[in-house]
Amino acid sequence: MTVLLYVLGVLFVALGVGLSIGLHEIGHLLPAKKFGVKVTQYMVGFGPTVWSTRRGETEYGIKAIPLGGYIRMIGMFPPRPGDKPGTLRVSSTGRFSQLADEARQLSLEEIKPGDEDRVFYKLSVPKKVVVMMGGPVMNLVIAVVLLTGLVTLYGQEVQKDGALVASVSECVVPASQATAKTTCAPSDPKTPAYRAGLRPGDRIVSIAGQPIKRTTDVGRLIRPRVGQPTEIVVLRGGARQTLEVSPIRNTVQQVGPNGAPLVDASGHPVVVTAGFLGVSSAPVQALERQPVTVVPGILGQQISHIAGVLVHIPQRMTDVAEAAFGSKARDPNGPMSVVGVGRMAGEISSGSIQGVDESLAGKLAILVSLMAGLNLALFVFNLIPLLPLDGGHVAGALWEGLKRNAARLLNRPDPGHVDVAKALPIAYAVSTVLIVMSALLIYADFVKPVKLG
């Protein structure tokens, strides 16, 4: 049963990736046809064609390797001086298919009578931008729909008042020995929390009559009360219980305003002598359905995180390489390939990750969140203004508009269409980097996958 669930999780991601790619290319296809551009091919995948059919002037099909897609519009690049009259260079929107076209030295295709004005390069600048932005925007729309359904129908974890007892230490250990000593000797004194009967999972409601709003309140109220009998009210199994503890004097690690433990420049704990209870606490979280108004904030946070990963991609890829070929652990917030996403989906659906909601709804919610994140990553990634990405074509169109407006203001002749094909050396370099990165990520996802839970 576990294997079947794992396979279903992988298939869920495979289908989701395929649909995301297909809809991305539809985002290019629909405005291109609306603006009259002749589209000769719509393909999901690359490599050998597995299946295709022709509808009107467009061939629709599926190729063997489902890691990309493309539409082929006639005349994406303007003719060069010396090109045979009535022909234009072949190109398409997909990164891998563009690479293949470029490897064939941009072979020429004939323009049939009546198609002279149905070429992409003759579109106005706004229309070019709409066509090339259609793919990334489609990924953004997919992410918005998935996230909206997720938070309004399933819910979102929200922080509530109080603090959960995450763990209870059995014996008293100074902060300087906390990482070195893992077992208690019979002679070790018991912690106040252990003696009072606090248990992991207890929700601390108040300490000494003071309500607990967040985890930092626990230390703030316990540390000054050395040797003072103190009442702690907890919720256990839905019922309130009052326990009495007497914090003892001990060396404990200081925490910052946000509750994070403080360390010095050498990485050692910053300690202080204060009241000690012997518990670690965690925030109280509850799953609640949210209004649709929270979606923009969630989108902004995720897009900001993805953009941060891309900005620091050299360091991120260095970390991936060190993990793949060394002993370093993978960063769970770092980049991964579609292989890693599929593997993670299989582990989630099969219940192999601790701390994950084991219900069907919980697993499905995580998988949907995974697909939403993947589409947001595609949206942000394709905005990079470099060929062969969609953002490169958008940048070329905007540059064309800027040159024409400048010429108009200066009463100079129209400079004509910008030939983005002149940036093909950059496209070659970017494509090479993308291939190397993809290979590294796929290898790392096999030998050192990201671990959650």
**Distance, CA of 90 to CA of 421 (rounded, Å):** 11
Distance, in Å, from the CA atom of 7 to the CA atom of 11, rounded to the nearest integer, reads: 6
Instruction: Count Cβ atoms within 10 A of the Cβ of residue 410 and give its class: 0-12 exposed, 13-18 middle, 19 or more buried.
Output: exposed
Strands 230-236, 210-211: pairing is unpaired
Spatial CB neighbours of 381, under 8 Å, sequence gap ≥ 6: 306, 310, 389
Q: List the Cα angle 189/195/196 in 5-degree steps.
A: 150
Tokens of 433: 């980097």
Residues known to be catalytic: 25
Nearest alpha carbon to residue 180 among 85, 94, 269, 243: 269
Query: What residue has token string 């769970």?
Result: 332
DSSP letter for each residue of 130-188: HHHHHHHHHHHHHHHHHHHHIIIII-EEEEEEEEEEEEE-SB---GGGTTT--S--TTS
Cα 406 to chain centroid, rounded: 39
Point out which residues pair with 47 in neighbouring strands: none
Three-state DSSP class for residue 90 = coil
Q: Which residues of 331-359 are buried (b: 16+ CB within 10 A; e: fewer)?
A: eeebbbbbbbbbbbbbbbbbebbeebeee
Is the CB of residue 404 less than 8 Å from the CB of residue 415?
yes
**CA pair distance 187, 173, nearest whole angstrom:** 12
Spatial contact of 106 and 91, defined as CB atoms under 8 Å apart: yes
Rg of the chain over CA atoms, in angstroms? 29
Question: Which pair of tokens denotes residue 205?
Answer: 């409601």
Residues in the chain: 453
